[in-house]
Chains A and B, each alone.
Chain A
């Protein structure tokens, strides 16, 4: 063996690496890992379906009202966006935990919040162009009122930010996170949230609806918070979820 065993670098090295390049590298890695062809096609088709639906509706009824436009956006924000975020969010770290490759991130001199925030950022980065952009485009097809388009964009963005944090957490916390996430979206937010005020406050959908309702000046069921509350609460929830997940990941058993 002729290869030199001395590595080509200075022996003086800080105990922990600079966090900026580490974050960028992890973000790129997670983005690349989670973007499987199957996921992109499945979610892309759902987003495409939203655009096709808007086209069909507009062609069928050119005088579509703002109320119906709000309902259309509401439907997208209530189901399409959370489901899309769920598919990517639970997998971004969950896949690494399942197959054991998390060890290659965990056993490095890098704080755990870097992994979690990189995973969250990767999820947001995928879902915004893949789903939010088509949803906003579909909204514009139905009604060009700036309030409705603004409500769709802002509500969708806040939803993606909050659901991404929530579902990254779910992926780290549970082995079968996808069904748990579906239970949350379809059962909790779909049914339980309308059972009472406390349940409503515990559903992200209520806050996102409030953004849409406030911006379009329409009253939406379960969307009774002010615009500020509708924005701030999901962002606080996202921050808390990321904080919890960072602590959880630092203490987790790594395969």
Chain B
């Protein structure tokens, strides 16, 4: 899939955007449109995620093609930058400042009416103390990340571009920020979050952009993407009390390529692992097969429609 439409008014749009550094192609002919809500940008290290995010914000121009945020080119139209909030990947901040001063400065540069009040609000959102008089140089990596998120929120942006925003955070803070980003997306903001940690991404929601080797490998709901991958057999686990009998019945079902027995273990009954080219047809036929085998079905669950499997298929890992 080289291009896709999300269906809503695009808040971020890439139109055949390419970027290269010397002979190295970082981003190649990428097209997509993103509307409100949270979208996860996925890809292995070095896939071009950060370059793509930098292009979207206008921090680096595409060598070919175009990017637009809210219909404007952020490199040429400086007013649209006031509607963007960014969490860059690099850790450096203005280290002579406290967190409050740093976030207030961001508000002031955005023309926020009361930057001090906005800074207190943004720091509260990420659960940092705005009265902390320490310089951010003394902060842990996780605290610095939260300061970066606060400065991205201070102007109440319509579009948020977050490059690995959860790096260095403890599990509780991760959960907190994931929930925060979800709420911001539900309120109509366009939030694009890059990550290579799949468990994390799955919690952001189901909408993904997958980048591999600088190209857009897929975009949309990752479960729908999985369903579209006709060339990859679906793997389904059927847990039952009579595995051999059910396996015998299933092997002759339409679309079934292979069956494998999973022995009972740890008090759990055994299972049949089935590879099928047609998951919907299989799901309809499995009950009849169990009935013929006089078996009880305990569980029928897909094994490879999670994000991890989709990602591995798409990036060839």
Contact = CB atoms under 8 A, between A and B. Distances in A.
Interface string B92-120: 11111100001001101111111001101
Interface of B: 54, 57-61, 74, 78-82, 84, 86, 88, 90, 92-97, 102, 105-106, 108-114, 117-118, 120-122, 124-125, 151, 153-154, 156, 176, 179-180, 183-184, 187
A26 B109 CA distance: 9
Contact of A109 (B90, B94, B110, B122): B110
A3 interface: yes
A195 interface: no
23 contacts: A1-B179, A1-B180, A4-B121, A5-B187, A8-B114, A13-B112, A13-B113, A16-B78, A16-B79, A16-B82, A17-B82, A22-B111, A25-B105, A25-B109, A100-B92, A103-B59, A103-B90, A104-B94, A104-B102, A104-B151, A105-B109, A108-B82, A253-B60
A175 interface: no
DSSP class of A's interface residues: helix, strand, loop or mixed? loop
Contact of B125 (A5, A26, A104): A5
Contact of B78 (A9, A111, A254): A111
Interface residues of A, number: 37
A8 B180 contact: no
A108 B151 CA distance: 11
Interface of A: 1, 3-5, 7-11, 13-18, 21-22, 25-26, 29, 32-33, 99-101, 103-111, 253-255
A8 B86 contact: no
Contact of A104 (B54, B74, B106, B124): B106
A3 B149 CA distance: 15
A109 B82 contact: yes
A33 B106 CA distance: 16
Contacts of B184: 5
Contacts of A108: 81-82, 106, 109-110
